Amino acid sequence: MARYRGPRLRITRRLGDLPGLTRKSAKRAYPPGQHGQVARRKRSEYAIRLEEKQKLRFNYGVSERQLVRYVKKARAQEGSTGTNLLKLLESRLDNICFRLGFGPTVPGARQLVNHGHVLVNGRVLDIPSYQCKTGDIISIRESKQSRRLAETNLEFPGLANVPPHLEFDKTKLRGRISSRIEREWVALEINELLVVEYYSRKV
Protein backbone atom coordinates (compact mmCIF):
# COMPACT_ATOMS: atom_id res chain seq x y z
CA MET A 1 0.00 0.00 0.00
CA ALA A 2 1.45 3.38 -1.06
CA ARG A 3 1.94 6.36 1.23
CA TYR A 4 -1.31 8.25 1.84
CA ARG A 5 -1.62 11.54 -0.06
CA GLY A 6 -5.34 12.22 0.30
CA PRO A 7 -7.31 14.59 2.58
CA ARG A 8 -5.82 14.51 6.08
CA LEU A 9 -8.79 15.81 8.06
CA ARG A 10 -10.79 12.87 6.80
CA ILE A 11 -8.30 10.59 8.58
CA THR A 12 -8.30 12.57 11.84
CA ARG A 13 -12.11 12.57 11.90
CA ARG A 14 -12.03 8.79 11.77
CA LEU A 15 -9.01 8.05 13.99
CA GLY A 16 -8.73 11.06 16.31
CA ASP A 17 -5.93 13.58 16.82
CA LEU A 18 -2.74 12.73 14.89
CA PRO A 19 -0.15 15.49 15.55
CA GLY A 20 2.30 14.06 13.03
CA LEU A 21 -0.22 14.10 10.17
CA THR A 22 -1.80 17.56 10.41
CA ARG A 23 -2.03 20.60 12.68
CA LYS A 24 -5.58 21.39 11.56
CA SER A 25 -8.62 20.31 13.54
CA ALA A 26 -11.83 19.14 11.91
CA LYS A 27 -14.97 21.23 12.27
CA ARG A 28 -17.15 18.14 12.27
CA ALA A 29 -16.89 15.83 15.25
CA TYR A 30 -18.39 12.77 13.56
CA PRO A 31 -16.60 10.29 11.24
CA PRO A 32 -16.50 10.97 7.47
CA GLY A 33 -18.68 9.28 4.88
CA GLN A 34 -22.35 8.77 4.11
CA HIS A 35 -23.07 7.07 7.43
CA GLY A 36 -20.78 9.19 9.60
CA GLN A 37 -23.61 10.69 11.68
CA VAL A 38 -25.40 7.37 12.17
CA ALA A 39 -24.88 5.79 15.59
CA ARG A 40 -21.99 3.36 15.24
CA ARG A 41 -22.51 -0.27 16.01
CA LYS A 42 -20.28 -1.93 18.54
CA ARG A 43 -16.92 -2.43 16.87
CA SER A 44 -15.31 -5.86 16.70
CA GLU A 45 -11.96 -6.53 18.36
CA TYR A 46 -10.39 -6.70 14.89
CA ALA A 47 -11.77 -3.26 13.99
CA ILE A 48 -10.34 -1.76 17.19
CA ARG A 49 -6.89 -3.26 16.53
CA LEU A 50 -7.03 -2.11 12.90
CA GLU A 51 -7.77 1.48 13.99
CA GLU A 52 -4.78 1.51 16.35
CA LYS A 53 -2.55 0.20 13.57
CA GLN A 54 -3.85 2.88 11.19
CA LYS A 55 -3.06 5.57 13.78
CA LEU A 56 0.61 4.54 13.70
CA ARG A 57 0.69 4.36 9.91
CA PHE A 58 -0.81 7.78 9.31
CA ASN A 59 0.87 9.62 12.19
CA TYR A 60 4.39 8.52 11.20
CA GLY A 61 3.67 8.47 7.45
CA VAL A 62 4.92 4.94 6.82
CA SER A 63 3.59 2.42 4.33
CA GLU A 64 2.11 -0.93 5.33
CA ARG A 65 5.24 -2.72 4.14
CA GLN A 66 7.48 -0.43 6.20
CA LEU A 67 5.34 -0.91 9.31
CA VAL A 68 5.52 -4.71 8.96
CA ARG A 69 9.34 -4.42 8.81
CA TYR A 70 9.35 -2.28 11.95
CA VAL A 71 7.18 -4.83 13.78
CA LYS A 72 9.59 -7.65 12.86
CA LYS A 73 12.55 -5.55 13.99
CA ALA A 74 10.80 -4.66 17.28
CA ARG A 75 10.11 -8.35 17.95
CA ALA A 76 13.77 -9.23 17.51
CA GLN A 77 14.81 -6.73 20.21
CA GLU A 78 14.70 -7.31 23.97
CA GLY A 79 11.79 -5.90 25.97
CA SER A 80 8.20 -5.05 25.04
CA THR A 81 7.53 -5.34 21.31
CA GLY A 82 5.00 -2.49 21.41
CA THR A 83 7.37 -0.10 23.17
CA ASN A 84 10.23 -1.10 20.86
CA LEU A 85 8.00 -0.39 17.86
CA LEU A 86 7.18 3.12 19.07
CA LYS A 87 10.85 3.83 19.80
CA LEU A 88 11.86 2.74 16.28
CA LEU A 89 9.25 5.00 14.71
CA GLU A 90 10.17 7.93 16.99
CA SER A 91 13.84 7.50 16.02
CA ARG A 92 13.21 8.08 12.31
CA LEU A 93 15.01 11.16 11.00
CA ASP A 94 11.83 12.75 9.62
CA ASN A 95 10.12 12.36 12.99
CA ILE A 96 13.09 13.79 14.90
CA CYS A 97 13.03 16.84 12.59
CA PHE A 98 9.30 17.19 13.27
CA ARG A 99 9.81 16.96 17.04
CA LEU A 100 12.53 19.63 16.84
CA GLY A 101 10.11 21.89 14.94
CA PHE A 102 11.96 21.93 11.60
CA GLY A 103 8.77 20.74 9.89
CA PRO A 104 5.12 21.53 10.73
CA THR A 105 4.16 17.85 10.35
CA VAL A 106 5.99 14.58 9.70
CA PRO A 107 5.27 14.82 5.92
CA GLY A 108 6.60 18.41 5.99
CA ALA A 109 9.74 17.30 7.82
CA ARG A 110 10.16 14.41 5.37
CA GLN A 111 10.12 16.86 2.47
CA LEU A 112 12.80 18.93 4.22
CA VAL A 113 14.98 15.81 4.54
CA ASN A 114 14.31 14.64 0.97
CA HIS A 115 15.38 17.99 -0.45
CA GLY A 116 18.74 17.88 1.34
CA HIS A 117 18.17 20.65 3.90
CA VAL A 118 19.09 18.47 6.91
CA LEU A 119 22.52 17.46 8.22
CA VAL A 120 23.22 14.51 10.52
CA ASN A 121 26.58 14.80 12.27
CA GLY A 122 27.64 17.46 9.76
CA ARG A 123 26.75 15.53 6.60
CA VAL A 124 23.73 15.95 4.33
CA LEU A 125 21.38 13.00 4.77
CA ASP A 126 18.29 12.73 2.59
CA ILE A 127 16.92 9.42 3.91
CA PRO A 128 13.80 10.11 6.04
CA SER A 129 13.76 6.58 7.48
CA TYR A 130 17.33 6.84 8.85
CA GLN A 131 17.40 5.54 12.43
CA CYS A 132 18.92 8.26 14.62
CA LYS A 133 21.02 7.18 17.60
CA THR A 134 21.92 8.72 20.95
CA GLY A 135 24.58 11.37 20.39
CA ASP A 136 23.56 12.17 16.81
CA ILE A 137 23.46 15.89 15.97
CA ILE A 138 20.68 16.99 13.61
CA SER A 139 21.02 20.45 12.10
CA ILE A 140 19.93 22.60 9.17
CA ARG A 141 22.28 23.44 6.30
CA GLU A 142 23.90 26.87 6.35
CA SER A 143 22.28 27.96 3.06
CA LYS A 144 19.81 30.88 3.24
CA GLN A 145 16.98 28.84 1.75
CA SER A 146 17.40 25.96 4.22
CA ARG A 147 17.56 28.27 7.23
CA ARG A 148 14.60 30.33 6.05
CA LEU A 149 12.44 27.21 5.66
CA ALA A 150 13.32 25.93 9.13
CA GLU A 151 12.91 29.34 10.80
CA THR A 152 9.48 29.79 9.21
CA ASN A 153 8.35 26.40 10.51
CA LEU A 154 9.77 27.11 13.98
CA GLU A 155 7.47 30.15 14.31
CA PHE A 156 4.54 27.72 14.44
CA PRO A 157 5.92 24.30 15.45
CA GLY A 158 3.68 21.26 15.13
CA LEU A 159 4.23 20.36 18.80
CA ALA A 160 5.04 23.18 21.21
CA ASN A 161 7.38 21.21 23.48
CA VAL A 162 10.64 19.50 22.49
CA PRO A 163 10.73 16.08 24.23
CA PRO A 164 13.30 15.55 27.04
CA HIS A 165 15.47 13.18 25.00
CA LEU A 166 16.28 16.00 22.56
CA GLU A 167 18.43 19.08 23.18
CA PHE A 168 17.73 22.02 20.88
CA ASP A 169 19.64 25.21 20.12
CA LYS A 170 17.19 27.46 18.27
CA THR A 171 19.80 30.08 17.30
CA LYS A 172 22.04 27.50 15.62
CA LEU A 173 19.09 25.40 14.35
CA ARG A 174 20.76 22.35 15.80
CA GLY A 175 19.42 19.49 17.89
CA ARG A 176 21.09 16.59 19.65
CA ILE A 177 19.71 13.26 20.81
CA SER A 178 20.87 13.28 24.42
CA SER A 179 19.28 10.10 25.76
CA ARG A 180 17.14 7.09 24.87
CA ILE A 181 13.51 7.65 23.99
CA GLU A 182 11.04 6.72 26.74
CA ARG A 183 7.47 5.57 26.15
CA GLU A 184 5.88 8.52 27.99
CA TRP A 185 7.53 11.00 25.61
CA VAL A 186 5.59 9.69 22.61
CA ALA A 187 3.08 12.40 21.63
CA LEU A 188 0.50 9.99 20.21
CA GLU A 189 -2.39 8.51 22.19
CA ILE A 190 -2.25 4.88 21.20
CA ASN A 191 -2.42 1.36 22.61
CA GLU A 192 0.62 -0.19 20.97
CA LEU A 193 -0.22 -3.65 22.35
CA LEU A 194 -3.26 -3.76 20.06
CA VAL A 195 -0.98 -3.05 17.09
CA VAL A 196 1.24 -5.97 18.08
CA GLU A 197 -1.86 -8.18 18.42
CA TYR A 198 -3.05 -7.06 14.98
CA TYR A 199 0.19 -8.29 13.42
CA SER A 200 0.54 -11.41 15.57
CA ARG A 201 -1.31 -13.58 13.01
CA LYS A 202 -0.06 -11.72 9.95
CA VAL A 203 3.70 -11.53 10.49
Integer Cα distance of 7 and 67 in angstroms: 21
Tell me, what's the pLDDT at 34?
45
Q: Which amino acid is at 103?
A: G
In terms of Cα–Cα distance, which of 46, 60, 65, 69 is closest to 11? 60
Question: Which pLDDT value is given to residue 161?
Answer: 80
pLDDT tens-place string over residues 78-107: 999 999 999 999 999 999 999 999 998 899
| Cα 113 to Cα 149: distance, rounded to the nearest angstrom | 12
Position 203 scores a pLDDT of 63
Residue percentage of the chain with pLDDT more than 90 = 56
In the predicted model, is pLDDT for residue 33 greater than 80?
A: no
Contacts of 141-145 with CB under 8 Å at 24 or more apart are: 141/116, 141/117, 143/117, 145/117
Binning pLDDT at 50, 70 and 90, where does residue 28 land?
A: low
Alpha helices (runs of H) in 16-166, residue ranges in sequence order: 45-60, 64-76, 81-90, 93-100, 106-114, 144-155
pLDDT score at 156: 82
50-67 residue pLDDT tens: 999 998 998 898 999 999
pTM listed for this prediction: 0.85
Model pLDDT, residue 151? 93
**Confidence band, pLDDT 50/70/90 cuts, at residue 126:** very high
Q: Shortest CA distance to 62 belongs to which of 13, 129, 120, 115? A: 129
Residue 108 CA, chain-centre distance (Å), reads 11
Q: How far apart are the first and last CA of the chain?
A: 16
CATH 3.10.290.10 maps onto the chain at 92-180
Q: What is the CATH code of the structural domain delimited by 92-180?
A: 3.10.290.10
What is the reported pLDDT for 80?
93
CATH fold, domain 8-88+188-200, is Ribosomal Protein S4 Delta 41; Chain A, domain 1 (1.10.1050)
pLDDT tens digit sequence for 179-198 = 988 888 888 888 999 999 99
